[in-house]
Amino acid sequence: MKVISLEEIIGSNQEVDGGNWVSRRLLVKDDQMGYSIHDTHIKAGTETHIWYKHHLESVYCIEGEGEVHTLKDQKVWPIRKNVLYALDQHDEHILCAKTDMRMICVFNPPINGHEVHNEEGVYPLDEE
């Protein structure tokens, strides 16, 4: 069994600054769980273009408020504390943070832990 604290991840190479967000990758591919789990802080007032073409991501908001704008259907999804959204169609979207937001993110397949978005908002399938 493993026990991992947020305090261990902060300041390590599994804490990644994406500009609009800081992601603490608690579990990554090397942990061999089949998914990764991140505790991610989204900065207030930011708009982030995201498109996980190669991953399924579920996002559980535990603090703050904002919106997800899905681009294909032009829908706006209000997101607040205690709401989860699941990008089950690899949905291309804009994440708009009205306040600071804290999100628990789960990725399948797991990420390696050091990824940041490319110009399309994508994480590569495997950076190795």
- Segment near ligand 9YT (CB under 6 A); pick from 2-10, 18-26, 27-35, 75-83: 18-26
- Please choose, from the candidates 85, 95, 45, the residue with its C-alpha nearest in 3D space to the C-alpha of residue 62: 85
* 35 counts as binding ligand 9YT under rule CB under 6 A: no
* 85 counts as binding ligand 9YT under rule CB under 6 A: no
* 93 counts as binding ligand 9YT under rule CB under 6 A: no
Q: What is the DSSP letter of 8?
A: H
- Please choose, from the candidates 86, 45, 50, the residue with its C-alpha nearest in 3D space to the C-alpha of residue 64: 45
What's at 56, amino acid-wise? Answer: L
* 14 counts as binding ligand 9YT under rule CB under 6 A: no
* 26 counts as binding ligand 9YT under rule CB under 6 A: no
Quick one: which of 96, 103, 106, 122 contacts ligand 9YT (CB under 6 A)? 103
Q: Residues near 124 by Cβ (< 8 Å), separated by ≥ 6?
A: 54, 115, 118
Query: Which residue lies nearer to ligand 9YT by CB, 1 or 36?
Result: 36
